Structure 1
Amino acid sequence: MKVKIHTLFEYLLETTEAEPEAFLGFSLSQSPVLGDFIDALDPALSLDWNGRSFRGVSELRAHVLRQAGLETQCSLDDVLITAGAAEANYLALRQLLEQGDEIIVEKPGWPQAEVIAKAEGAVIKTVNRDENNAWQLPLDQLKEAVTPKTKVIFLTNPNNPTGRLFTTAELLEIVDIARSVGAWLIVDEVYAGLEWNAERAPSIAGLYERGITTGSVSKALGLQGLRTGWMICPDPDLIMDAVILRENSSEIMNILGETIAEIALRPERYAPALRVARAEGRANLEMLDHFIADQPLLSWTPPDAGLIGLAQLADALDGDHLAKSMLAPPYRTFLLPGSAYDLQHHIRVGVGGGNAAKLPLALTRLARFLSTCEQSS
């Protein structure tokens, strides 16, 4: 069945050439530049992949396990390097789902799983996060949703886009729910490492024999352009099936991307980069939180982790109208409408991008737009 575009990607395509002057929608940390890695790059590096593991550069896979806290629970062969977390999710979902299988997804959540499930002819069941309870996922409803036909449960932790973080106890309960019907449990961890008030949650690949952890260097490290991510799973057949499936899509590793990612994840570089990303993210989140508190037409639950969150609009406001109005002159400011997550009276706000995002300018312009809305109401 044909893969249909999801609303989030459709909006990004529509606005590609808008050339905004400020951003309230950056979802990743400020991006490094190539020069930051030149000192560690070998000019004699071969860009051929012959003689290398089909699973990816071994040193990079070791770093992936280390940053996920899985170095004593998983082996290098449990890691497959992919073209970002998106490819990791695709490889897992594409090989696991068949027509008639059930998949459970969260809403709001990363829409990729639902798009692929529809194309595969799977039955999609949704568990809605509770906005009135700080976007908590109601685990009693998750338990009610599973059946013997449930093949996959797909979640994000931290949640993308609300920033809600599962506790260890919640993850263990989710594992029990998945194990009760033998379902695979995929947890996308692209925002892991940017926790604001808690420790990083344990990765699902270390908690469950059918747990699949996906992640990348895109968000916390700002290295989205490398297109380097990973899948971690203790089931050797699943990893090998993913290797075979990838052979028929992107085929094999991105040598330069993996090499730079390996450098970025070296402990002596990763820890300082994460400290900078956390400091910048925390400062911007505090700025945004104060801004929303002063706006009568906005409210939100600040994220536990990550660089994005959902702000609720007053009933009279529509997220699509607000986002498109803000992108047009005189505001020229990018943010994402909540309709990307089936939430018409919300907007997704992001605080990444560093100085280039011009967050203070974006907030000034949003305040000006909201004041016109108040005056006309």
Structure 2
Amino acid sequence: MNSDSTHAADLQKAASQALGDIEPALLEDWFRSRYFDAKIDISSSGMQNYSLGQLRGMLGVSMDELDGLPFRDSPTLGCEPLRAAIAARYAPTRSERVMVTHGSTEGIFLALSAVVRPGDEVVVLSPVYQSLSSVASALGATLRVWELSPAEDFTPDLDRLAGLITAKTRAVVVNFPHNPTGAMLDPQGYHRLLEMVEAAGCYLFWDAAFGELVYDFTPLPDPAAIMEKCVSFGTMSKAFGLPGLRIGWCIAPPDVLATMVKLRDYVTISTSPLNELLATRVMENVDTVVGPLREQARFNRLLLSTWAADHPDLISLPLPHGGVSAFPALPRGVDTISLCDKLLDEHGVLLVPGLCFGHPDRVRLGFGGGTDELQAGLEAVAIAASELASPVAAY
């Protein structure tokens, strides 16, 4: 074996060992033993879930259409009608770059695995949805952290990002609207980000799981529609109210897709034709499906803001500009893990401690569910936090 082959084998071995040692997914660990026991969920970053019957009624999907579906394998990249519908909404003329995935999580894992090598520098956000940082770290990358500061209400600071990008940067990984804070880039910041990445010649990984849910700014275009070295991700698990459908997508350069296909052949192979049929109809009627949920989210966001203003001694809330998750702080002295356990044990309310996102003084609070459920959950939070708070506690 020559030296080049030996070096390549060593790198492959290092990457394999690192993936085996990937950090536990803290959010999923938290949900695993609690999610199905909760009566009220104000933890999630998605919308109120549709039922199959509701979906069929909205989209006119007949039982005959479902009954006629053969359960054969789908194409590796997904069925053509669904890929075309995704491209039509997010990246017109680039349907050949679309891969249908099992939620966005599979796309993130496959794409990072296709691009990142041991020793690469990768810029990641903090706080962050863990897949967007831990996968790159497990692949052997050196993480350079773009901190969203609580003191600035998690507003993205582009000057801070500029100081992190170097000649060694392989990729910049972001998600806007941001999970868990709901922070957003304004249009000027969006264009500056794209210019920075293109000037560096690195990849942009753009997670747009909440791209359909924007309140104070203009929805941001998918950069994969115009950039060459961009991989973007979307999912029906968040804004669409369809997490159980397990359908997401990515839009990526052809060479990245080719490597993703090679990796996928060893894991999931393809997605379900039944799920793809439903997802195609959804993607052809996005506003019909998302519109009512978006209006509910707007109302719930106002309700959340009013509730926080009514409890200034208990909650410090940076108002989310997108998505349906907020990341409020609790007074000093309130153990947020104890708070979340107390809420579940005594009130049946599910909430996520900020430790899952590296901020133990905060909680992730979801407001995408039913309004009555949100109101009941917020009332329980106020009661439980009051019981745990010290009389002299402050932020």
Within-5 A mapping of 1:90-109: 90-109=109-128
2:76·2:269 contact (CA, 8 Å) conserved in 1? Answer: no
Superposed displacement of residue 181, structure 1: 2.6
**SS where residue 171 of structure 2 aligns?**
strand
Distance 1:189 1:284 in 2: 21
Distance 1:291 1:16 in 2: 24
1:308·1:350 contact (CA, 8 Å) conserved in 2? Answer: yes
- Aligned partner (choices 40, 54, 60) of residue 61 of structure 2: 40
Report the identity percentage. Answer: 25
User: For residue 370 of structure 1, what is the amino acid of its counterpart?
Assistant: A
Aligned to 1:359: 374
Superposed displacement of residue 132, structure 1: 2.6
Aligned to 1:324: 341
> What are the superposed Cα offsets for residues 178-216 of structure 1, whole Å, 9 maximum, x if unpaired?
223321110111111111123210112024211111001
User: Unaligned 5+ residue runs, structure 2?
Assistant: 1-17
**SS where residue 105 of structure 1 aligns?**
strand
Aligned to 2:136: 117
Aligned to 2:83: 61
The TM-score with structure 2 as length reference comes to 0.88
Superposed displacement of residue 376, structure 1: 5.3
Superposed displacement of residue 129, structure 1: 0.6
**SS where residue 172 of structure 2 aligns?**
strand
Aligned to 2:196: 177
Distance 1:236 1:4 in 2: 30
Distance 1:317 1:37 in 2: 42
Go from structure 1 to structure 2 and tell me whether the alpha carbon gap of 1:375 and 1:102 turns closer, same or farther (over 3 Å shift): closer
- Aligned partner (choices 348, 356, 359) of residue 343 of structure 1: 359
Aligned to 1:263: 281
Superposed displacement of residue 37, structure 1: 4.2
Moved over 6 A (4+): none
1:27·1:353 contact (CA, 8 Å) conserved in 2? Answer: no
User: Unaligned 5+ residue runs, structure 1?
Assistant: none
Go from structure 1 to structure 2 and tell me whether the alpha carbon gap of 1:155 and 1:375 turns closer, same or farther (over 3 Å shift): closer
Go from structure 1 to structure 2 and tell me whether the alpha carbon gap of 1:122 and 1:349 turns closer, same or farther (over 3 Å shift): same
> What are the superposed Cα offsets for residues 44-79 of structure 1, whole Å, 9 maximum, x if unpaired?
111102xx54321212112212332x21xx421111
User: For residue 358 of structure 1, what is the amino acid of its counterpart?
Assistant: E
- 2:167 is aligned with 1:145: no
Aligned to 1:23: 41
Distance 1:157 1:254 in 2: 28
Aligned to 1:252: 270
- 2:327 is aligned with 1:310: yes
Distance 2:192 2:173 in 1: 15
1:168·1:202 contact (CA, 8 Å) conserved in 2? Answer: no
Distance 2:356 2:125 in 1: 14
Distance 1:167 1:198 in 2: 6
Q: How many residues align?
A: 366
> What are the superposed Cα offsets for residues 291-337 of structure 1, whole Å, 9 maximum, x if unpaired?
111111211111111110100111222222211221112x2211110
